[in-house]
Chains A and B, each alone.
Chain A
């Protein structure tokens, strides 16, 4: 079969589905599904395998026709649930949503439902095949505003995950080790720390050694950075000379 530029490109880029792409169009609007079928059916890269007017029709058609792509009108009732049901029934099908209003919340809602990509409401019909091929190849073209929103969302999620990790995976330091973290951060040498805490130099060295191991640090100079990143420790006062007579006098408990 003679293929157009878009067809060859899709094939060469390993879209992973057989050409022509079989497409099921799902829209409650007859004018849209029939009009789209007629327009898209002219491109040799696409084979319109069926039309469905609602989710029930769509699920039945997916079972019978085994399309590679479901082109779903974003205006369909309870659209994100429809995507989940389609993906539950046929996980291998790529669901592409059509005529999506490109807001951050909207795009994320469709993405979370499991779509492979979307065609924005502002797209022209002439761009459809190119956009479809891009999505099948794993490339989604989106507005700068949506991209920026997605980056913010990922950054926010990463920050939340980090906070959670820090709360639950913070290395457990003994009270003495926390004191030593503060004193190292204040610039004291081992000898000065030993004097400040009224303990032997070898004991101090042992505490520092254990501390670096627990924090997965190689040099004591890294302790200051570690402390700066951990606010709960940063807020603790540096023990004053002679203020710590014994390991338990400041309320810390050795573990």
Chain B
């Protein structure tokens, strides 16, 4: 089974690991990048051409980073986790955006696979 080319950006190792573990039985994520910082983000995203970008927003960072990331990786679905990690904004391909109000492992799996 071919995994979804995924990059994880700006989240703690614990949070990244929980994402990987909680989704493992439901969806195959092929983690092609796990970056703590946004350094050289544009170049790295273009090089990796991910299908899924999971990004943790910093304090006061607007979720509008989603469309910007989609512009850099046009084939990617973007899920931007709020800075308190309670919510996530979902940017699907073809400019469809949704929101997970009460983020849980199950709702995240739904957002990835949906």
Contact = CB atoms under 8 A, between A and B. Distances in A.
A39 B22 contact: yes
A35 B108 CA distance: 11
B21 A125 contact: yes
Nearest to A30: B104
Contacts of A28: 84, 86
B22 A38 contact: yes
A29 B102 CA distance: 9
Contact of B21 (A29, A30, A39, A99): A39
A35 to B, nearest CB: 4
Nearest to A119: B14
A168 interface: no
Nearest to A98: B14
Contact of A35 (B13, B19, B86, B102): B19
B13 A29 contact: no
B105 A31 contact: yes
Contacts of B14: 32, 98-99, 121, 123-125
A141 B49 CA distance: 39
B93 interface: no
Interface residues of B, number: 17
Given A29-B86, A32-B18, A124-B17, A38 B12 contact: no
Contacts of A32: 14-15, 18, 85
Interface string B1-36: 000000000001111011101100000000000000
Interface in B56-103: 84-86, 102-103
- Chain B contact residues, majority secondary structure: helix
Contact of B22 (A35, A98, A121, A123): A35
Interface string A188-207: 00000000000000000000
Contacts of A35: 18-19, 21-22, 105
Interface residues of A, number: 19
Given A123-B13, A123-B14, A125-B14, A31 B103 contact: yes
A39 B85 CA distance: 18
A125 B102 contact: no
Interface in A106-131: 121-126
B105 A121 contact: no
A36 interface: yes
10 contacts: A28-B84, A30-B104, A32-B15, A32-B85, A34-B105, A35-B21, A98-B14, A99-B14, A125-B13, A125-B21
Query: What 3 A-B pairs are tightest by C-beta distance, nearest first?
Result: A125-B17, A35-B18, A35-B22
Given A30-B102, A31-B104, A121-B12, 8 more contacts: A28-B84, A29-B85, A29-B86, A34-B104, A34-B105, A38-B22, A121-B13, A125-B21
